[in-house]
């Protein structure tokens, strides 16, 4: 008999015919946006992590190469202040290369691996008495005063009063 028709709904798309659909649509759109932002943040995090690892590998290798250039003997010392035990089982070619480098920079690096604790550049060649610490190079030891009660008259390692200094010669 009578059919109930909604007025003016034939030209409106089915999706928009009810008001409840708009309340479903908004959270869906927000969810898609948040998933997109979340993916962007995830991609940025992964990229940052990978770049950090690559930088560590690249710059860590350069630092290790720099550290292996100095010294010889029981310990190696480099200008960055790192010390590492000499590697066992080293090949003869690498040992010869290290010896050439050590001869070239012998003025600045001690064959025993002891740097001056003041300047950290030249090899320690001055023995401080009475504590017998081999801690200073010739240039820095000339600035230290014997018999002084101030900081310039004390051993830089143990703070004992410097009574005398002795130059050490190595073969």
Chain segment 152-161, per-residue pLDDT in tens: 788 888 888 8
> Is the distance from CB of 122 to CB of 116 less than 8 angstroms?
yes
Q: pTM for this structure?
A: 0.34
**pLDDT band for position 89 (cuts 50, 70, 90):** very low
**pLDDT band for position 24 (cuts 50, 70, 90):** low
Asked whether the predicted pLDDT for residue 84 surpasses 50, the reply is no
Asked whether the predicted pLDDT for residue 78 surpasses 50, the reply is no
Q: Phi and psi dihedrals of 134, rounded to 5?
A: -95, 90
Signed CA dihedral, 77, 88, 106, 169: sign only = positive
**pLDDT band for position 171 (cuts 50, 70, 90):** low
**pLDDT band for position 10 (cuts 50, 70, 90):** low
> Is the distance from CB of 168 to CB of 127 less than 8 angstroms?
yes
Asked whether the predicted pLDDT for residue 29 surpasses 80, the reply is no
**pLDDT band for position 41 (cuts 50, 70, 90):** confident
CA atoms of 163 and 151, how far apart (whole Å): 13
Length of the chain: 171
């Amino acid at each position: 008999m009578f059919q109930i028709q909604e007025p003016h709904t034939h030209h409106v798309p089915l999706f928009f015919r009810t008001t409840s659909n708009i309340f479903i649509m908004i959270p869906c759109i927000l969810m898609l946006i948040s998933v997109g932002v979340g993916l962007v943040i995830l991609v940025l995090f992964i990229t940052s992590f990978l770049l950090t690892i690559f930088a560590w590998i690249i710059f860590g290798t350069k630092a290790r190469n720099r550290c292996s250039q100095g010294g010889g003997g029981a310990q190696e010392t480099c200008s960055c202040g790192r010390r590492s035990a000499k590697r066992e089982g080293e090949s003869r070619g690498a040992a010869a290369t290290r010896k050439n480098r050590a001869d070239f920079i012998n003025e600045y690096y001690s064959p025993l691996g002891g740097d001056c604790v003041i300047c950290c550049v030249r090899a320690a060649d001055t023995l401080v008495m009475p504590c017998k610490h081999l801690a200073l190079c010739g240039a820095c030891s000339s600035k230290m005063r014997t018999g002084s009660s101030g900081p310039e008259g004390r051993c830089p390692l143990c703070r004992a009063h410097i009574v005398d200094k002795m130059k050490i010669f190595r073969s």
